[in-house]
A and B are shown apart, each in its own frame.
Chain A
Amino acid sequence: MKKDEVPQDLGSLGKITKEVCYATDSTGKYVTELSTGWEVKTKALDVAWEDIAKRIASAKEQVLNNQASPLLFFMEYRLMDISILADYTGFWKWQIKRHLKPGVFNKLSDQKLQKYAEAFNIKVEDLKSMTVHED
């Protein structure tokens, strides 16, 4: 890539910091050049978040239809799978799988709910009511 071809399409990172790219100058020597972003990868990132949004929406529906507990919703919201959540909470994976059932979830002690709330960085009442505060 030549120095003057380093893309300057403003992306979400570009608003906060420019990133260093390695490119060649007119004599072919490598130099660094700052880039504000590249449309190709901005779109790739958009695709990732669109997929996540779909997963969140589908989780929400399952919770509202009483097919899953609010854990599923917050797992998708926080991009966590069962093993990440197990690491954050200290629960076993099989326990989390049980807690994903609405019936089991509704009987969980406050202490257990608190562990989940901490992992998701939310309050217990928000966990129960599936309420999201933008952070």
Chain B
Amino acid sequence: MKIEFEHRQAAHCESGVTSNLLRVSSNSKITEPLAFGIGAGLFFAHIPFIKINNGPAIAFRTLPGHIFNRTCKSLGIPVIRKKFRSKEKAEAFLKECLDAGHPVGCQVGVYYLPYFPKEYRFHFNAHNLIVYGKDGDNYLVSDPIMENATVLDSYQLERVRFAKGALAPKGHIYFPEKGADITDGQIKQAIKNGIKKNVNSMLYIPGSFAGVAGIKSTGNKIKKWRDKLGLQKAGSYLAQMVRMQEEIGTGGGGFRYIYAAFLQEADSYLPGNQLADISVMFTKAGDLWRTAAVQAAGIYKGRIGSQEDFNTMGDYLLEIAEIEKNAFLALKKIKWQ
């Protein structure tokens, strides 16, 4: 059984899945950047006291699941989502959905995902893909980060849907109920809501670990890493930060470029609000994140490594924090035309 579904590659798994699942009901209007922006996907958090793969826990995007939820909610699309204890029930429900003609989003872990290169397989459980059919024992899979559609046999799919560890998917399955037509008016309102949510998450989360304040605080921490951790471990920490920032699924520059693309598209829906100008500020932030990554690479490659180099590295983040703060303040001040 196969549902009519066209695989499309995206930069980021969740916004890609969201945009691909909404393609039919939105008449292709909800692009990946729109899904990312409406879902208020941009974020920064450096969570204290937690280590991931023995390195710092740094995220450049919002929590898994938020983008799909917020986007559908903002657009007034009813969503069906379920998690399961039982593997059998999870598969039975998946089959039911496919029989009813719904392509579905699934949250999976990547550690046992066979088509991923070995180098990318960590215990990361917040990857997303679409299942759109079954052929014999093989499920037809559209993984947005892959160029082409692929397949997983029932055991392989069960294994990744029931991966264990932090953010364990527990068979999490989700899809929009059909029948909702999305109008331009809804999209405009959703864009405004998305921007407002993102302003709040980047500027007004209390404490110093998240948002713009988080970037600043991490910048200051980096300056101390050399003395505190030793050169080698500090290098590993920086490498981990760069991986979170640039690895598959970010579209480059820690999602800042996708967000800039979102603001450009938003500008054509809501002209006269300077969104295109503010987009340029995010491009600048993305460029600076990448400049910082080059500096970090110098350190973890062992080419540079003086305290001066760590200060430069930390200062990049302080500069980025300033740019993003001004960009979000500009978004906050918009009086919508």
Contacts and interface: CB of A to CB of B under 8 A. Distances in A.
Contacts, number: 125
A43 B300 contact: yes
A125 interface: no
Say which size band chain B's interface belongs to.
35 or more
B248 A13 contact: yes
Interface stretch (B21-29, B59-67, B238-246, B329-337): B238-246
A45 B297 contact: no
Contacts of A121: 112
A18 B145 CA distance: 8
A31 B79 CA distance: 30
A73 B306 CA distance: 35
B101 interface: no
Interface in B154-180: 164-166, 168
A22 B33 contact: yes
Contacts of B108: none
A17 B242 CA distance: 20
B243 A44 contact: yes
Interface string A47-84: 11101100100000000000000000000001110011
Contacts of B318: none
Contact of B240 (A16, A40, A44, A55): A44
Interface of B: 9-11, 33, 53-55, 111-112, 115-120, 122-123, 145-148, 164-166, 168, 235-236, 239-240, 242-243, 246-248, 251-253, 257-258, 260-261, 264-265, 279-280, 283, 286-287, 290, 293-294, 296-297, 300-301
B165 A83 contact: yes
A106 to B, nearest CB: 26
A1 B287 contact: yes
A92 interface: no
A96 interface: no
A128 interface: no
A29 interface: yes
Say which size band chain A's interface belongs to.
35 or more
Tell me which of B55, B111, B297 has the highest count of chain A C-beta atoms within 10 A of its own C-beta. Answer: B297
B157 to A, nearest CB: 16
Nearest to A39: B297
Contacts of A13: 117, 119-120, 248
